[in-house]
Structure 1
Amino acid sequence: MDLSTTQPQPSRNQDDSTFSKKEKKISDESEQISTSSIDVATLLAENIQTVGLEISRSIASEVLIQQNSEMVIQENTLKLHPTLCEVEGLTEDKHYRALSKILGHPTRTLIFFSLSYFVRLEWVRRFFSDD
């Protein structure tokens, strides 16, 4: 048997070393992917939290505006009867009819109080011409 033609087999330690290097490289890549995934998830969570806070502030602001508007309408509603009593030229019947018509539409209450004293009678009369 001729030993000169046989190729030397790599030692077992050399194979193990190559395998360990590949295993370590895969482990490092896996760790990098894991770290990147955590970073992305953290960033996403922060953005969701920021958007949630902004939406909450916006809703709170809208609720405040709505409450203020309702409060103004309620205040004007309480003042409507005595103010209509001051409008010269309205009969008692028309006074109560105007009160019903105006109170039935909160926006009309705001309009009524935005008008000057001298225009209110004509504005109320136009309600009755639309009947």
Structure 2
Amino acid sequence: MTNLLPSTQKDRAIGKDAQTTTDIIEEINVEDVAATNTHEERNDFHGSEADVSLDDMDLSATKLQPEPQPARNQGDSAFLKKKKKISDASDFSTSFNDAAALLAENIRTVGLEISKSIASEVVIQQNSEMTIQESALKLYPTLCEVEGLTEDERYRALSKIPDHPTQMLIFFSLPSAVRLEWVRRFLADH
């Protein structure tokens, strides 16, 4: 029978470098550990963790193939990281929702204040317009009461004073003794 094995393998099988089953299993396990370490480095690079040590492996000589032991914390660590990411996103989402609710409440409050302010301004303006209208209605009879005004001055004043609501209010606030002079100056300036 010819020897089909190369000399190094033949020497191992029968000679000085012959290995027992235990030696072969230990070599396989060392190679597995090296491969696991390479896997760990890759997993660490991708944000995962693997915790594998020789203590976790069964190195008994009675088994030809070692049973891989589940890596400690590998699934737990990935789960915890994923849970933390979800928790962080949930915290951010909650914070964002709280800020949006607070902003909405502030906008609502400001809107109500603006509405009240506008309503108040509208009421003031309406009251002012009513006062001006009432004053305009009283303007002709009051101008007729001013002694010394000619009929021409009275009609010119009647057509110009209502165009200047503030001036009309000033006219009515003056004592009757100065109204003649005020009307003449108003007509001269306008």
* Shorter-chain TM-score range: 0.7 to 0.9
Which segments of structure 1 move beyond 6 Å, counting only runs of 4 or more? none
Q: Which runs of 5+ in 2 are unaligned?
A: 1-23, 31-53, 58-67
Change (3 A) 1:18 1:128: closer
Structure 2 counterpart of 1:72, from 131, 134, 137: 131
Q: 1:78 Cα deviation (Å)?
A: 0.3
- Residue 122 of structure 2 aligns with which residue? 63
**Match of residue 85 from structure 2:** 26
Specify whether residues 53 and 22 from structure 1 end up closer, same or farther in structure 2 by C-alpha distance, changes over 3 A only. Answer: same
> What are the within-5 Å matches in structure 2 for residues 1-131 of structure 1?
1-3=24-26, 6=30, 7=54, 8=57, 10-12=69-71, 14-130=73-189
Cα 1:10–1:45 change in 2 (3 A) is farther
CA distance 1:60–1:25, change in 2 (3 Å): same
Distance 2:98 2:115 in 1: 26
**Cα distance change of structure 1 residues 33 and 119 upon mapping to structure 2, 3 Å threshold:** same
Moved more, 69-78 or 21-30: 21-30
- Structure 1 residue 46: Cα displacement: 0.9
Bigger fraction of residues in helix: 1
RCO (CA 8 Å, sep 6+): is it higher in 1 or 2? 1
SS of the aligned residue for 1:3 comes to: helix
| TM-score normalised by the chain length of structure 1 | 0.86
Cα distance in 2 between the residues matched to 1:130 and 1:62:
31
Cα deviation for residue 52 of structure 1 reads: 1.0
Structure ID, larger Rg:
2
